[in-house]
Amino acid sequence: MKRLFYFSFIFLLFSCKKTPVDNSGNGNGNGNGNNNNSAVIFERFITPSTVNPLVTSFNSQHYIYVDTVTLKNKLFVFLPGTTGSPQFYKLIVKKAASMGYHSIGLMYPNNSDLYTAAASNADNTQFGKCRQEIFDGTDQSTGVNVNFSNCIKTRLHDLLVYLQQQDTTHNWGQFMLNNEIDWSKIIIAGHSQGGGHALYISKQVSVIRAISFSSIDWNSNLGRSADWVTQSGATDVARLYSINGIADQIFSYANVQTQLAEMGFTGPAVSIDSNQPPYLNSHTLTTTATPATSVLFPDHNVTCLDSYVPKNNTGGPAVNFDKAWEYLIGN
């Protein structure tokens, strides 16, 4: 458990390095993204409280990107890890945009309360109860405190409504149906805690695809996966994908393998370091690549956290990561 708390400090460390410009008051964004995979990227940063004044915490900016050249009319939503914010995951969110997806790095309540409440609880339903409350704001557990206005579902809904009103050029309304999120047009992804949310959400609603980067819900007291892991879900398991660092310092890879097998992920595990797409058509990718920095749990963060992802000579993701991300996100 200590490692999970220490993990939160990594985001505090990197948050001291840059304060992004908030252009949430503009109606058009600035369109000057630097993604090497796309000629024209519309970008915008919006604080959650700008979208909904009832939001008073976890108010770091949402990051929004759209490739204005080629659009798939599908939405990629990325959920940061514990205490992280979208500004630390620009590479993966921009990658999805460069592939033609409307792309959002979504800020949500992501402190360590989930793990404090559930990771060693004798009640193995707590992981699922906490994740449900963080997803839809219903009161499920005393371990977390997330109301309707602050949950993932409402934040995404409100952001899409706001974008449709403020940015009519990019047709954000296509991701709504009868004033509800149209999950059938969405890829949900996330890192660490966010990756767990992505898989959990895929059990609640049917999505195009769910992608977990370096994530697991493992009860260390009981020595097994959280109860929700083996429950049936709305999204076919054939649409679930994952990538994990073999030497992950937070989540034991042996436990990761057990959990992915329990969920029925398509295997076998395939390394992105020595194989090419389509990776034997596996949905369980791995890496032992050397992270770009060694500060605090590098092999946990190497899969998608900007400061850790190996880079090419222009600052973009190294070719094996670029190819792996493209495969995971899909066409």
Per-residue pLDDT tens for 31-90?
A: 333 334 444 789 999 999 999 999 989 999 999 999 988 899 999 999 999 999 999 999
Return the structure tokens found at 146.
């997330």
209-213/186-191 β-pairing: parallel
pLDDT digit string, tens, across residues 215-261: 999 999 999 999 999 999 999 999 999 999 999 999 999 999 999 99
C-alpha atoms less than 13 angstroms from C-alpha of 32 in its C-beta half-sphere: 3
Q: Which residues contact 248 (CB under 8 A, 6 or more apart)?
A: 214, 256, 297, 299, 300
Looking at the whole model, is its pTM more than 0.85? yes
Q: What is the DSSP letter of 123?
A: -
What number is the average pLDDT over the span 101-130? 97
- In the structure, what pLDDT confidence band is assigned to residue 109 with cuts at 50, 70 and 90? very high
pLDDT band at 320 (very low <50, low <70, confident <90, very high): very high
Length of the chain: 331
Mean pLDDT in residue range 302-313: 98
Pairing label, strands 180-181, 186-191: unpaired
What pLDDT score was predicted for residue 217? 97
Phi/psi for 68 (5° steps) reads -85, 0
Residue range 182-210: mean pLDDT, rounded: 98
CA–CA distances in Å: residue 146 to residues 91, 134, 282, 288: 28, 6, 36, 36
